[in-house]
Chain A
């Protein structure tokens, strides 16, 4: 059974109630593979390893069928804001 992007979104949404979530399907035909960006209050006070563990746990059911999962961002809402501002072109 192939895991869909929608299932990944649903599983992360129900476990981590993210304020921002982006899931990109990177499978290209060689098995389920995704890039994810998650912004969630549940990451507050947690180190990167623990944050990634939370994402892995949210997908525990799907994980055996997922070929590759790349967690590009696991941020708290306060970390996410300054970063998205930085991405805008500098104004002087």
Chain B
């Protein structure tokens, strides 16, 4: 058993709880929605723009504490990370697949109307 020192402080956890619950769609990504810094982040931004939903983005490249803490918060090792309605939805591959199957539109419509 390996013990890691946690990157997710109680304060950061509280802040993240607040961020993901105060917006219906939040994307933690590399870069911003206007200037994505990675193809995977760009793909998710494009999907959200195509679906015409309002969404917030946070640039994890600008904040190393946020970047490391989020990996623990989501139990997900990579970025982008998409949150819908306060819950972790997935990374780029999951978002692409859900978009292609129509599952993402369905979930977003439900979320926006709630």
Using a CB–CB distance below 8 Å, which chain A residues touch chain B?
Answer: 48-49, 52-53, 56, 60, 63-64, 68-72
Contact = CB atoms under 8 A, between A and B. Distances in A.
Contacts of B93: 52, 70-72
23 contacts: A48-B90, A48-B94, A48-B97, A49-B88, A49-B89, A49-B94, A52-B90, A52-B91, A52-B93, A52-B94, A53-B75, A56-B77, A60-B77, A63-B77, A64-B77, A68-B40, A68-B78, A69-B78, A70-B40, A70-B92, A70-B93, A71-B93, A72-B93
Interface of B: 40, 75-78, 88-94, 97-98
Nearest to A51: B94
Contacts of B90: 48-49, 52
Contacts of B89: 49
Contacts of A70: 40, 92-93
Contacts of B76: 53, 56
9 A-B pairs closest in CB distance:
A63-B77, A71-B93, A49-B90, A56-B77, A48-B94, A70-B93, A52-B94, A49-B94, A48-B97
Contacts, number: 29
Nearest to B103: A48
Contacts of A63: 77-78
A17 B94 CA distance: 22
Contacts of B91: 52
Given A52-B93, A64-B77, A70-B40, 14 more contacts: A48-B97, A49-B89, A49-B94, A52-B90, A53-B76, A56-B76, A56-B77, A56-B78, A63-B77, A63-B78, A68-B78, A70-B92, A71-B93, A72-B93
Nearest to B76: A56
A22 to B, nearest CB: 15
A5 to B, nearest CB: 18
